[in-house]
Amino acid sequence: MVVRVGFLSLAHMHAYSYGRALNSLSNCILVGIYDPNQERGTKGAQAMNTQFFSDPEKLLTQVDAVIICSENNRHREFTELAAQYGCHVLCEKPIATTMEDGQAMIDACQKAEVKLQIAFPVRFATPVRQVKTMLDRGYIGEVVAISGTNHGQMPGGWFVNPVLAGGGAVMDHTVHVVDLVRWFLGQEFVSVYAEAGYGMLWDVDIDDCGMLSMELEGGTIVTQDPSWSRPRTNPTWGDVTLRIVGTKGIIDLDAYAQNFVVYDDAQNKVSQRSFAEDMDLGLIVDFIAMITDDREPSITGFDGLKAMEVALAAYESARAHKPIALNRQRQGSEYY
């Protein structure tokens, strides 16, 4: 079976990496790209060696699955449209900008009997998978504390528009680490405290730095730094790190450590070049296999919803200056 895939919007730059992955695989084909921004869509179609569609419904009749890389607040409308045409969905994170929208996406896909996967590619980073195995085997005993970072540079564009993005650094960079922790330990977050800083590092009105302090249902304490605190001169875009403290040891995980450094006099620039295995390729391989094998998504809409719930609670906490309790309900039960 060759899975036919299309893009709905290229607003998120990850689309290019996903496109490269699709083009490198033999069991799928990139049929085309719809983008409400015709210029962006045409340019992307050229770069990914595929066709631009000015009508999304025309594209949807020709594909089995779509990858949605729109602005965060448009994930719902594109997901609902794809579900209407019986297409499986891989949606960029965060799932949406409100719990209502996220739940509506899950419901729409369930009703249409299509699969919804959320793009958390870090789960497919080789060192991350190795740590998951070590934790499952109890290498460091019981996990009691986790200190995480997902730093980045200020992405600009629609990412700093509160309506389109649903938030700044806290929304953008909380969900990856929260998803990893949920996946590692199989536990839900029960409380979130956060500080958020607005325009403290960049000339933006949105939150560009913050700090979260959370607790899991088993009592494990977790902090997460989502700040866009990498300066323009930083040799790389950012990081994903976790210090995992167990009763029998500690694991320090740096998901993007596999790189070498280039000092370039001509560009007056120092930069890191990754030699790590491509996590985006891992994500796409998994998504396509989900369709060909007709199995459940490895990262569900519920996973996306729970990660966003933490980010939304962080904003609530930062406004109220107190910890926010989260719903402990798990997948399968009626939610919201």
Partner 1 sequence: MIRVGVIGYGTIGQIHCRALQSVSGCELAVVADVDAGARARAQEDYGVDVVSDVEEMLQTTDVDLVDICVPTYLHEQVMVKAMEGNKHIFCEKPLARSLEEGRRLVDLSSNYAQKIGIGHVVRFTPAYVGIRQSVEGGEIGQAGVVRTFRGGSQFPVGWQDWFADVDLSGGVILDLAIHDLDFCRWLFGDVKRVYAKTSRKRTEAHLEHAMIVLRFKSGVIAHIEGSWTNLEGQFYTTIEIAGKNGLISYDSRETNPITIRTVPEQNVHVGAVAVDPYVLELQDMVQAILEDRPPLVSVADAFGTLQVALAALDSARTGQVIEL
Measured at the alpha carbon of residue 80, what is the angle toward residues 76 and 83, in degrees to the nearest 5? 140
Half-sphere exposure of 29 (CA within 13 A, CB side): 8
Q: 293: which residues sit within 8 A by CB, 6+ positions away?
A: none
Give DSSP secondary structure letters for 241-283: EEEEEESS-EEEEETT--EEEEEETTTTEEEEEE-S--HHHHH
DSSP state of 137: T
Nearest approach in angstroms of CB 78 to partner 1 is 34
Nearest approach in angstroms of CB 273 to partner 1 is 20
* Cα distances (angstroms) measured from residue 205 to each of 152, 200, 201, 314, 332: 17, 9, 11, 18, 38
Measured from the CB atom, the residue of 36 and 197 that comes closer to partner 1 is: 197
Nearest approach in angstroms of CB 5 to partner 1 is 39
Residue 95 one-letter amino acid: I
Measured from the CB atom, the residue of 224 and 300 that comes closer to partner 1 is: 224
Measured from the CB atom, the residue of 192 and 305 that comes closer to partner 1 is: 192
Measured from the CB atom, the residue of 139 and 158 that comes closer to partner 1 is: 139
Measured from the CB atom, the residue of 202 and 302 that comes closer to partner 1 is: 202
Nearest approach in angstroms of CB 195 to partner 1 is 5
Nearest approach in angstroms of CB 157 to partner 1 is 20
Measured from the CB atom, the residue of 145 and 262 that comes closer to partner 1 is: 145
Give me the residues that bind partner 1 (CB under 8 A), please.
142, 144-145, 147, 149, 191, 193, 195, 197, 200-202, 208-211, 213, 215, 219-221, 223, 225, 227, 229-231, 233-234, 243, 245, 247-250, 321-323
Chain-centre distance for alpha carbon 329: 22
Tally of CB atoms within 10 A around 326: 19
Nearest approach in angstroms of CB 197 to partner 1 is 5
Element (H, E) at 224: strand 221-225
Q: Are strands 3-8 and 241-246 parallel, antiparallel or unpaired?
A: unpaired
Cβ 25 vs Cβ 285: under 8 Å: yes
Give the span between the Cα atoms of 72 and 97, in whole angstroms: 6
Measured from the CB atom, the residue of 77 and 195 that comes closer to partner 1 is: 195
Measured from the CB atom, the residue of 124 and 228 that comes closer to partner 1 is: 228
Nearest approach in angstroms of CB 239 to partner 1 is 11
From the CA atom positions of the chain, what is the Rg in Å?
20
Nearest approach in angstroms of CB 190 to partner 1 is 11
